[in-house]
Amino acid sequence: MLLKIKGITKRFGGLIAVNQVSLQVAEGEIFGLIGPNGAGKTTFFNMLTGIYSPNEGQIGFEDRQIQGLKPYRISKLGISRTFQNIRLLKEETVLENVKVGMFGKTRTGLWSAILGLRSSKKEEKFVTEESQKIIELVGMNGYEMEMAGSLSYGNQRRVEIARALVSRPKLLLLDEPTAGMNADETKEIVQLIRKIRGNGTTVILIEHNVGMVVGLCDRIAVFDHGEKIADDKPEEIISNPAVIEAYIGKEDDKKETEYAAN
Ligand SMILES: Nc1ncnc2c1ncn2[C@@H]1O[C@H](COP(=O)(O)OP(=O)(O)OP(=O)(O)O)[C@@H](O)[C@H]1O
């Protein structure tokens, strides 16, 4: 197993955002994380990437325990992510945005970079070449010199994924990669995720588009109120009564609220 999580919990004051969640992800899997709003999915990602330290539990990645490590240490070990809200430098080019993802991977210190020493020039060349390869992988070749802010929403998402991939992570975490996309853009992202896995990267994605997750993932875990209520193959998940209840229950809550509001 690439990732072995045992009983992780995150509390914010009296609120338990993630409650005793255990989960395993095998190398080469595409693993989906679904659940109603506020179920704890992003908090779970934030613990995997070191933004939050779990109050309890362990996160085993390869042969190490990584819970509580700082984000840059975790990223060096090979876990990379994208965010729910696109976080690109809008006034910078696509190439510069992707190069940022190599920060922390390169060896040249700040001073040699400033002084323009030869090792840093070699490294700059390496970073540019690696970035160009990844830009091509995500289908953005030809856009290297475009400003990130001028791209379509779907293409901005691709650049974000490229930035996360350029350090060649073993595990890529995607937080709602198809949010705000139309059906065609969603299909293209599905193809891209398959390609990324084909290149040897394990993927965990948070998604609200259940149809997309069911078609794409090898396994799916369902969160509700901070707890994992199911963890299975897609075909089992869609017929699982607890999962249906979590989703339909939410719909009923919404209808009741709407009814009350009218
Ligand atoms: N920094 C924080 N401080 C206090 N409460 C938080 C914090 N981060 C998340 N929460 C709360 O924890 C719970 C889980 O939130 P989280 O964002 O992880 O859910 P989610 O499943 O990702 O939801 P969504 O699908 O809406 O993004 C929510 O009740 C949220 O308000």
Q: Ligand 1 pocket check: which of 42, 83, 250 to mutate, most ligand atoms within 8 Å of Cβ?
A: 42
Token pair for residue 37?
A: 């709003």
Question: Which pLDDT value is given to residue 116?
Answer: 58
Other Cβ atoms closer than 10 A to 153: 12
Residue 21 has pLDDT above 90, yes or no: yes
Sketch out the chain's domains with CATH numbers: 1-78+170-262 (3.40.50.300), 87-168 (3.40.50.300)
CB of 234 within 8 A of CB of 214? yes
**Ligand 1 atom showing the smallest separation from residue 46 Cα:** 18
Contact 120 CB / ligand 1 (< 6 Å)? no
- Residue 68, sorted as left (phi over 0), alpha (psi -120 to 50) or beta, turns out to be left
Instruction: Spell out where the chain has E strands.
Output: 3-12, 15-25, 30-34, 56-61, 64-65, 79-81, 171-175, 202-206, 219-224, 227-232
What is the strand order of the sheet 15-25 is part of?
A: 15-25, 3-12, 56-61, 64-65
Question: Which pLDDT value is given to residue 255?
Answer: 46
Other Cβ atoms closer than 10 A to 106: 17
Residue whose C-alpha is closest to residue 233's, from 28, 32, 1: 32
Distance 43 CA to ligand 1 centre (A): 6
Contact 17 CB / ligand 1 (< 6 Å)? yes
Contact 38 CB / ligand 1 (< 6 Å)? yes
**Length reported for the chain:** 262
78-137 per-position pLDDT tens digit:
999 998 888 889 999 999 999 988 876 655 555 555 555 556 777 788 889 999 999 999
Contact 43 CB / ligand 1 (< 6 Å)? yes
Residue 258 has pLDDT above 70, yes or no: no
Residue identifier of the C-alpha nearest atom 25 of ligand 1: 37
Give the β-pairing of 171-175 and 79-81: parallel
3-16 per-position pLDDT tens digit:
999 999 999 999 99
Q: Ligand 1 pocket check: which of 43, 173, 176 to mutate, most ligand atoms within 8 Å of Cβ?
A: 43
Distance 171 CA to ligand 1 centre (A): 22
Give the β-pairing of 171-175 and 202-206: parallel
DSSP labels for 97-111? HHHHTTTTT----HH
The pLDDT-based confidence of 257 (bands split at 50, 70, 90) is very low
Question: Which pLDDT value is given to residue 247?
Answer: 78
Task: Provide the Cα torsion 159, 161, 162, 167; round to 10°.
Answer: 140
Token pair for residue 36?
A: 């109603």
Distance 44 CA to ligand 1 centre (A): 9
Distance 156 CA to ligand 1 centre (A): 24
